[in-house]
């Protein structure tokens, strides 16, 4: 009887693996987060905090409003730099590390599709980038708010001591400082940095699927990032500086193949106080989504038949 039942179970068809499972992507993503945390990647936040404290206490020769604006620009610029650099380095390390540790073989021997693995890795990196950006924003916000409060109280004190300013004039001066202080729009600047870092991570994951080492991936990714930033600038330059048809065509090809990272640098304008246009912001979110999907699919094209 027992032999019969065991025969039956052996003959039973294997349970069909669904084409795509979010649960499996989630599992890989959460293990990627753990992997990155174990790599002590969050230690860079300490360096960031030190930079921010340094900037905050730097004696800048300017008015309080101007000084706050400078602190904000440097803080958000550094945040943006750390975000994309972190996205490149952490993504570049992941697949080769999985190969070295032989974790990749274990994962791919299970009913996990390669696209799920790629998406899982990407989402894991994005979760860590997002957490880092939030942490960096909190550090910046504390610094900006403390400086803003300090400047406002000092200005009020100075104006009261002078006794020639009306309450409206004092309010206008305080408002001038507050405009450069901690404002809710700054969270959109953080989102802009996150969108840029997401596209960078997607491009890096694509490069890492055919790269021979992490170092190669990092170098090529940074190169692609720089070229992607110089798109409009270089095409303007070369189309006016040369008549060479080959150079002009080469610039056009580069423009088509390499992502336009300059477009994702809109956090700078927001930090400077530009109004946020929701429609344009949604367009950028959509574009980022497009980049993520297309680059993961292209990665899959390389990765799908790769023998390990």
Partner 1 sequence: MSIVLQKVPRTILVLIGLILFGLIRTPFEDNARKGLVDSGMLLPPPGLSAMDQLSQSALMGTLGGLRSLVATYLVLEAYEHFSNKDWEELRNTYNVVVALEPYDESHWVSATWHLGINATANMELDEKLPKFERDRRFKEYAFQGIEFAERGMEQLPESYAIPVQMAEIYREKLEDNCATARVYKNAMDLPGAPGYLRRFYGYFLANCPGSEQEAYDHLIGLYREGRHQHKATLIKEIKNLEKKLDIPWSLRISDPDPDVESMKRRNRPESLPGGLSLPQ
Q: For binding to partner 1 (CB under 8 A), which residues are involved?
A: 60-61, 66, 69-70, 73-74, 76-78, 80-81, 84, 196, 225-226, 229-230, 232-233, 236-237, 240, 255-257, 260-266, 268-272, 274-277, 279-280, 283-284, 287, 290-291, 294, 297-298, 301-302, 305
Least separation, in Å, of the C-beta of 111 and partner 1? 20
Separation between Cα atoms, residue 114 and residue 303, nearest integer Å: 7
Q: Between residues 28 and 203, which has the closer beta carbon with respect to partner 1?
A: 203
Q: What are phi and psi of 102, to 5 degrees?
A: 65, 20
Least separation, in Å, of the C-beta of 193 and partner 1? 9
Q: Between residues 6 and 179, which has the closer beta carbon with respect to partner 1?
A: 179
Closest CA to 270 of 162, 148, 145, 186: 186
Least separation, in Å, of the C-beta of 81 and partner 1? 6
Distances (CA, A) of 73 to 81, 83, 177, 191, 271: 12, 15, 15, 16, 6
Q: Between residues 37 and 257, which has the closer beta carbon with respect to partner 1?
A: 257
Separation between Cα atoms, residue 166 and residue 160, nearest integer Å: 9
Close Cβ partners of 72 (under 8 Å, ≥ 6 residues apart)? 140, 144, 180, 186, 271
DSSP 261: G
Q: Between residues 29 and 76, which has the closer beta carbon with respect to partner 1?
A: 76
Q: Is residue 283 classed exposed, middle or buried when 0-12, 13-18 and 19+ CB atoms within 10 A define those classes?
A: exposed
Least separation, in Å, of the C-beta of 20 and partner 1? 17
Q: Between residues 35 and 288, which has the closer beta carbon with respect to partner 1?
A: 288
95: tokens are 């697949």
Least separation, in Å, of the C-beta of 7 and partner 1? 35
């Amino acid at each position: 009887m027992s032999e019969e039942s065991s025969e039956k179970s052996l003959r039973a068809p294997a349970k069909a693996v669904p084409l795509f499972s979010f649960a499996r992507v989630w599992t890989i993503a959460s293990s990627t987060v753990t992997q990155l945390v174990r790599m002590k990647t969050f230690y860079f936040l300490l360096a960031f905090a030190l930079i921010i404290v340094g900037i905050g206490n730097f004696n800048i020769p300017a008015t309080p409003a101007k000084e706050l604006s400078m602190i904000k620009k440097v803080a958000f610029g550094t945040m943006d730099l750390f975000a994309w650099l972190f996205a490149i380095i952490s993504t570049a390390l992941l697949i080769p590390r999985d190969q070295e540790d032989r974790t990749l073989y274990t994962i791919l021997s299970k009913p996990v599709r390669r696209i799920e693995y790629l998406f899982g890795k990407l989402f894991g990196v994005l979760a860590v980038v997002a957490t880092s950006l939030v942490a960096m924003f909190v550090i910046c916000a504390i610094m900006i708010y403390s400086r803003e409060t300090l400047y406002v109280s000092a200005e009020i004190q100075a104006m009261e001591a002078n006794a020639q300013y009306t309450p409206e004039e004092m309010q206008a001066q305080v408002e001038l400082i507050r405009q450069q202080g901690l404002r809710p729009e700054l969270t959109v600047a953080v989102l802009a940095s996150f969108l840029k870092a997401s596209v960078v991570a997607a491009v890096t994951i694509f490069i890492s699927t055919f790269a021979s080492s992490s170092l190669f991936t990092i170098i090529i990714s940074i190169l692609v990032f720089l070229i992607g930033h110089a798109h409009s600038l270089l095409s303007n330059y070369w189309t006016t500086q040369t008549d060479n048809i080959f150079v002009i065509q080469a610039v056009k090809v580069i423009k088509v193949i390499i992502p336009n990272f300059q477009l994702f640098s809109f956090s700078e304008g927001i930090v400077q106080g530009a109004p946020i246009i929701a429609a344009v912001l949604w367009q950028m979110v959509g574009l980022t989504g497009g980049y993520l999907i297309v680059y993961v699919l292209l990665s899959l094209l390389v990765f799908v038949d790769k023998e390990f």
